[in-house]
Structure 1
Amino acid sequence: MDLLLKRYLCDLTIYVSARPGACDTPDGICRWWLMAPQESEAIVAQALNWLVEQGAFERLEAADGRVRYRACVDAGALRELVAHCADSGGSKH
């Protein structure tokens, strides 16, 4: 797994563990949660998809077609990822 992808995975899990009600579009997540450069949007999308596959995040599609992501309400997977990120030193930015 790419180092930048791992960093975004940790940053995302730590962000939502501190803000359990957080929910946003991929663009908002890049811009406001991660403060990532626009060219990182594809890697952030990979991280979001991976988190959904692991059961840590859920993907919500609004009536207007926009997609938002948030942490699953009872996500044991999220707690495991947060613990792993803390053990490995967490975010590097």
Structure 2
Amino acid sequence: MAKIDDHDVRRIAGLIEDYLNNHPNAADTAEGIAKWWLPLEGEVSYSVIEQALNYLCSKAIVTRNNHANGHTLYSGKKTNIKTQSN
């Protein structure tokens, strides 16, 4: 379980959540998140990113999708949006 009392984990979890709020259709691996979602953060350890993602998954903010090819993709929790017809 994520050590949410850890300052770095809290900070990265917040940045990931902010990214998903601004890019609701985004999905990537932990490596992709480090490279593309958090590029301005410099070198962030994979352990911190993994703990932040685990925390966000435990809070149902992020969804973890394990694929048959061995990759795990993370994305924001999707909501069912009904469109209204005119």
Provide the TM-score with structure 1 as the length reference: 0.73
Partner of 1:64: 69
Partner of 2:38: 34
Of all paired residues, the percent bearing the same amino acid is: 30
Give the 4+ runs in structure 1 shifted more than 6 A. Answer: none
Highest Rg: 1 or 2? 2
SS of the residue aligned with 1:55?
A: coil
Contact 1:31 1:37 in 2 (8 A): no
49, 52, 59: which one pairs with 1:47?
Answer: 52
How big is each residue's C-alpha offset from its partner over 1:15-71, in whole Å with a ceiling of 9 and x where there is no partner? 000000000000000111012555511100000001001111110011201101001
Gaps of 5+ in 2: 80-86
Structure 2 distance, partners of 1:38, 1:46, is 15
* Structure with greater proportional helix content: 1
